[in-house]
Amino acid sequence: MRILLTGATGFIGAHVARALIDRGVEVHAMTLPGASRYRIADVASQLELLEGDLADASWVRDAIGSIAPDAAIHLAWYAEPRSYLRAVPENLTSLRGGINLLEALARGGTCRRVVVAGTCLENLDTPAPTIYAAAKAAQHHLAGGFAEGSMSAACAHIHYLYGPWEDERRVIPMVTRSLLRGEQIDVTDGLQSRDYLHVADVADALCRIVESDLTGRVDVCTGMPVRLRDVFEEIARATGKPALLRIGALAGSETMAWPATGDPAALLSTGWRPRYDLPQGIQETTAWWATRDRINQRRNRP
C-alpha cells in the first residue's frame, strides 16, 4: 500500500510516519521546503520525501500524479503556539492547501481513501468559533464533498494530546521541563476537563482510520476526560518535584469552555485501544524530555 502523508515533520505527523513504517507500507511524505526534519531524522531514510508547498496547486497536481497514492493522511496545517487559533492569513493558506490536495487526489484517480485531521473545536459555538476551527470545519465538509466519487473520506477530530516531540512552548512540555530543571512554575487551577491521549495512540488511531471504511466524523479520544489539574499533578509526581508546582497561581483562560471529550465509538469499532493510560504516558514523556534536555546540554557545552 502506498500512502501519502502531509505534515510529516510535525508533532503528530512524525509519529504517524513511524506507525506507518512499522506497518510496512510505502510512505510518501510531503514537507515544506526547508522545514526542519529533526523529528523524523531517525526514520527519514525509510520515507520517500518530497518538498513543496500545498498552496501551489500545480505543484500538488504534479506531485500526486508522480506518487499515485492509494490513500492519504492529511495533517499539514499552521500550528504555531499562541497564534494558530486566530491567525487568519495562515489558516486560510492552510485551507487552500487542503483544497488543492483534495482536488488533486480526486482527479488523480488512484486514491481510494483520505483522512483529514480535524479538531474538537470545529463544532464549538460558545465562545465564538475561531478562524482555525472554522477553516478546519470547511476542510472537513469539502472532503466529504470530494468523497462523492470513488474516494471515501474521514475527518479525524483529534482532541487533546501530549508526548515526545511536542513543541516545547506548549503547556505540558513547559511544566515538565521547568520541574525537571528544578524551577518553580505557576499554572492555572486546571479545573477544565480534557480528554488527553499520548501522541503515539493518536498516530495509531489515524492509521486505523485510514485502513478502515469509516467516513465522516471520527472522534479521536477516550470518552473519559480528566482535569488539567490532574495532568499537572501527574507531571509533578513523575519529576519528583511537587513542591515547585504552584497550581492556581495563574488566572484561568477561555479554554475553560472548550469541549472536554467526544464519542470514541466509531474509533473503537476499528479495534483501536489506547496503549497508554495517563500515568504511564506522562512518565514516559517525562523520561523522554529528561533525556533530550541532557543531550542538548552536552551539545551546548563549550
Nearest of 43, 58, 138, 144 to residue 101 by alpha carbon = 58
Instruction: Give dist(CA 89, CA 232) in Å, integer.
Output: 34
pLDDT confidence of residue 252: 73
Whether the Cβ atoms of residue 158 and residue 117 lie closer than 8 Å to each other: yes
Torsions phi, psi of 126, nearest 5?
A: -130, 120
Q: Which three cell numbers stand for residue 231?
A: 495532568
Instruction: Give dist(CA 160, CA 158) in Å, integer.
Output: 7
Distances (CA, A) of 252 to 159, 187, 228, 247, 261: 20, 9, 11, 11, 19
Q: Which three cell numbers stand for residue 23?
A: 506497518
Strand partners, 198: 162
Torsions phi, psi of 25, nearest 5?
A: -90, 165
Q: Tens-digit pLDDT profile for the chain (302 aa)?
A: 999 999 999 999 999 999 999 999 999 999 999 999 999 999 999 999 999 999 999 999 999 999 999 999 999 999 999 899 999 999 999 999 999 999 999 999 999 999 999 998 886 665 567 899 999 999 999 999 987 778 999 999 999 999 999 999 999 999 999 999 999 999 999 998 999 999 999 999 999 999 999 999 999 999 999 999 999 999 999 999 999 999 999 887 666 667 788 999 999 999 999 999 999 999 999 999 999 888 777 666 66
Domain regions of the chain by residue span: 2-158
DSSP state of 258: S
Q: Which three cell numbers stand for residue 61?
A: 497536481
2-158, CATH topology level: Rossmann fold (3.40.50)
Whether the Cβ atoms of residue 187 and residue 230 lie closer than 8 Å to each other: no
Instruction: Give dist(CA 172, CA 105) in Å, integer.
Output: 36
DSSP state of 245: E
pLDDT confidence of residue 267: 98
pLDDT confidence of residue 257: 66
For the chain, how long is the longest CA-to-CA vector? 60
